[in-house]
Amino acid sequence: MQNPNTTFNAGKPLLTVCQLGRLGDIVATEPAYRFLREQHPTRKLRWYTRPQYVELFQFAPFIDEIVPVSSAEEYLKLKEELPEGTISFEFNFRRPDAPKQKQAVFTSLLHQFTTTAGLEVPDETPRFYFAPEVAMPQLPEKYVVFHCASRGKNRQWPEKQWQRLAKFILSTGQSVVEIGMEPVLSIHTPGFLDMTGQISLQTAARIISGATGFVGVDSGFGHIANATGVFGIIVTGKLRNHPEYIPYSGRYAAGIGCNLVRLYDLPAARVPFPLVREAASRLLAGSPMSGAECDRFCLIHQIKSMRRNPGVRLAELLRKPFDRMKTEWEFFRRKQAGRARKKRSR
């Protein structure tokens, strides 16, 4: 499949990239494709990906040719037939017979996939490439995009919280547009639009790009929000053994145009509603929190919640006499050391 934005040249040596990951994986690694094009300007870049993701880079100027493949086995067979001298890379790719490996440190998806492939790609914000014929659907003038579900079970935020947040945003006069594979919200009031399961990825990106803001869990659509320059409120949390992981690169990783609403060492499901509401309220008021301000706000909330916990308060009460004894001993030790220094100086 030839990219309509490039000129086909069968005589050029090949540079191939295979990526069979999910939506977020592909969008997040877009800077790597630009990097490879800069490093190999005289080669034809061929991209292998699953059929449902062809439209993501179909109009990217750095891709010359796209080959849809359904599995790693199919790709490996095609790779055996590549001409001599071809340079090949695989992002987020695991051979069918390779054992799964535990990840010691969680960095951005861009960093993970490119370093595994032996590349050193600069940390940049991904870009999204729109198909010229995909128009913006008829939508309200002001709206917030919701994506309420992720494929990861430990990345979910409770449905009742989404319902409360949607009703809060609707009460401010903004509309709410839900996107994704299946609906989570059940709202039957003016201003709410359910567009789940009925639009292409290109159309979803158009909708996100025109929104006041994007609110979602850690999923592929959050990466599209990062790539299209939209302010994002991401409800997130601990992922397996990684309490502070940030899968984004570029501006979202730097806390620019993004609030990662989270509690340290807790899953997304434990994020309280008031934290997300405050982030949304500030966005709608035109003065969104910075990334650092959001981190501080969430941390203070968590500390205050811990102070109200009876178990924590009891533990502090039991520790109090030991802490006082330790402080008094430290004071006595310093006082004695001071006297000893004076005697030596005489």
Backbone angles phi, psi at 48, to 5 degrees: -105, 125
Q: Is 153 found in the same domain as 109?
A: no
Nearest to 2 by CA among 60, 86, 53, 69: 60
Say whether 235 sits in a helix, a strand or coil: strand
User: So what's the pLDDT on residue 242?
Assistant: 76
Burial of 262 (0-12, 13-18, 19+ CB in 10 A): buried
Q: Is 298 found in the same domain as 150?
A: yes
Q: Is 227 found in the same domain as 272?
A: yes
Q: Is 290 found in the same domain as 148?
A: yes
Tell me how far apart the alpha carbons of residues 48 and 88 are, in angstroms, rounded to a whole number: 11
Query: What is the average per-residue pLDDT within 317-346?
Result: 75
User: So what's the pLDDT on residue 154?
Assistant: 79
Tell me how far apart the alpha carbons of residues 140 and 119 are, in angstroms, rounded to a whole number: 43
Q: What does the pLDDT look like over 286-326, one tens digit per residue?
A: 999 999 999 999 999 988 887 766 765 666 667 777 767 77
Q: Model-level pTM?
A: 0.85
pLDDT at 51 over 50: yes
What are the C-alpha distances in Å from 332 to residues 97, 327, 343?
Answer: 65, 9, 17
Q: Is 212 found in the same domain as 168?
A: yes
Which two structure tokens, joined as six digits, stand for 259? Answer: 């609030």
In contact, 8 and 65? CB cutoff 8 Å: yes
pLDDT at 21 over 70: yes
Is 87 inside any structural domain?
A: yes
Is 250 inside any structural domain?
A: yes
pLDDT at 172 over 50: yes
- What is the domain-level CATH number for residue 97? 3.40.50.2000
Alpha helices in the chain (DSSP H): 23-28, 30-39, 54-57, 72-80, 109-116, 159-171, 201-209, 220-228, 273-284, 291-307, 310-345
User: So what's the pLDDT on residue 14?
Assistant: 96
Is 47 inside any structural domain?
A: yes
Q: Is 217 found in the same domain as 112?
A: no
The domain boundary, picked from 53, 81, 116, lies at: 116
Q: Among 97-111, 114-128, 276-290, which is the least confidently predicted range? A: 97-111
Q: Is 62 found in the same domain as 147?
A: no
Query: What is the average per-residue pLDDT within 170-182?
Result: 95
Tell me how far apart the alpha carbons of residues 310 and 313 are, in angstroms, rounded to a whole number: 5
Is 326 inside any structural domain?
A: no
User: How high does pLDDT run on average in the chain?
Assistant: 89
User: So what's the pLDDT on residue 305?
Assistant: 83
Is 332 inside any structural domain?
A: no
Q: Does 64 or 322 have the greater pLDDT score?
A: 64
Q: What does the pLDDT look like over 26-50, one tens digit per residue?
A: 999 999 999 999 999 999 999 999 9
User: So what's the pLDDT on residue 8?
Assistant: 47
User: So what's the pLDDT on residue 164?
Assistant: 97
Helix, strand, coil % over all residues of the chain, rounded to 5: 40, 15, 45
Q: Which helix (H) or strand (E) holds 66?
A: strand 65-68
Nearest to 225 by CA among 200, 204, 254, 246: 204
Domain enclosing residue 298, as ranges: 143-306
Q: Is 148 found in the same domain as 290?
A: yes
pLDDT at 105 over 80: no
Q: Is 281 found in the same domain as 150?
A: yes
User: So what's the pLDDT on residue 229?
Assistant: 96
The domain boundary, picked from 116, 135, 164, lies at: 116
User: So what's the pLDDT on residue 99?
Assistant: 58
pLDDT at 254 over 50: yes
Is 39 inside any structural domain?
A: yes
Is 126 inside any structural domain?
A: no
Is 312 inside any structural domain?
A: no
Q: Is 164 found in the same domain as 41?
A: no
Q: What strand order describes the sheet that includes 87-91? A: 65-68, 44-49, 14-19, 87-91
The number of folded domains in the chain is 2
User: So what's the pLDDT on residue 262?
Assistant: 95
Q: Is 178 found in the same domain as 296?
A: yes
User: So what's the pLDDT on residue 314?
Assistant: 66
User: So what's the pLDDT on residue 344?
Assistant: 78
Cβ atoms within 10 Å, residue 4: 9
Q: Is 238 found in the same domain as 166?
A: yes
